[in-house]
Amino acid sequence: MKIALVGIGKIARDQHVPSIAASNAWELAATCSRAGRVDGVPAFTDLDEMLESHPDIPVVSLCLPPVPRFEFAKRAILAGRHVMLEKPPGATLSECHALEDMARKAGVCLFASWHSREGARADAARDWLADKVITRAHITWREDVRKWHPGQDWVFDPGGMGVFDPGINALSLMTKILPQPVHLKSATLEFPDNRQTPIAAQLDFTDGVSADFDWRQTGPQTWDIEVWTEAGKLHLTDGGEHMMIDGVPAGQDPSLIGEYPRLYAQMADLVAQSKTDMDLSPLRHVADAFMLGRRVPVDAFHF
């Protein structure tokens, strides 16, 4: 199938473009971006012009920041195109629900993609935990915003989500592997004096689940989930790429290597089956954190 990429920034270049190029299911047929482009691929700066010029492209993948994404998704859906949404699928829950309603009425597929759910050991962790009694769980998700979003002030603007930009990856993995849903009880959100979104967060969920997110970590990055059960301890590291049971490596590599290649394989299946996948549980947890969170001021942050 032909596919168009909208928003040619770091995540598109690092993940989307190579994943599409390596897939037998997809052909990158056009891009739309204010400045970025992919060599050898027709480039546009206006979405409507791209859609009108390429009625042969049935699928649009949106790699834009969350705030402008709704309008682009809406226009693509109303033009009869299937849409794949980079995480998070929108800036608010309401606009995500609106997009799902539009897609169903238009008869097109809509995919809220959560790349951390495609970690190499995510399925194995879900399967191992399926029949276990969980006593507690803790998420440690600490990384360096300067490394992953260099100079991108939008992540600290309203709608940019702050530390929940990476933290939602942890929540997407959590909601995949835990056998029973949990909900937030309390949260502490650390806001730099000069920013509109938090740089760190501590979360307390039901059933003994807790999380620690921080965007100020330098050196090695930490993306871990630990789950204690009556049958032993499961430990996922590197965002789900590695798994241990009581300290012993476990789980097998999936047949298709890489989070984004697996996402694009899912999108191909959804289009083939005329299905929509708009699971919003990770975003719901983020919304709850902003509603319940106790705000704590911290030192100003500068790139």
Residue numbers annotated as active site: 87
Alpha-carbon gap, residue 166 to 147, rounded angstroms: 12
Give yes or no for a contact between 2 and 53, defined as CB atoms under 8 angstroms apart.
no
Between the CA of residue 199 and those of 166, 185, 188, 202, 209, what are the distances in Å? 11, 20, 11, 11, 21
- Using alpha carbons, select from 277, 259, 268 the residue that is nearest to residue 223: 259
DSSP per residue, 25-49: S-EEEEEE-SS---TTS-EES-HHH
Give yes or no for a contact between 81 and 75, defined as CB atoms under 8 angstroms apart.
no
Residue linked to tokens 């600490």: 142
Neighbour order of strands in the sheet with 200-205: 248-249, 242-245, 232-237, 222-229, 134-142, 209-214, 200-205, 184-192, 294-298
Three-class DSSP category at 136? strand
- Using alpha carbons, select from 174, 29, 164, 147 the residue that is nearest to residue 87: 164
At what angle are helices 93-106 and 281-292 packed, to 10 degrees? Answer: 150
User: Parallel, antiparallel, or unpaired: how do β-strands 222-229 and 232-237 relate?
Assistant: antiparallel
Could you tell me the two tokens for 100? 């799902």
Write the DSSP symbol of residue 223.
E
Please count the other Cβ atoms lying within 10 Å of the Cβ belonging to residue 188.
16
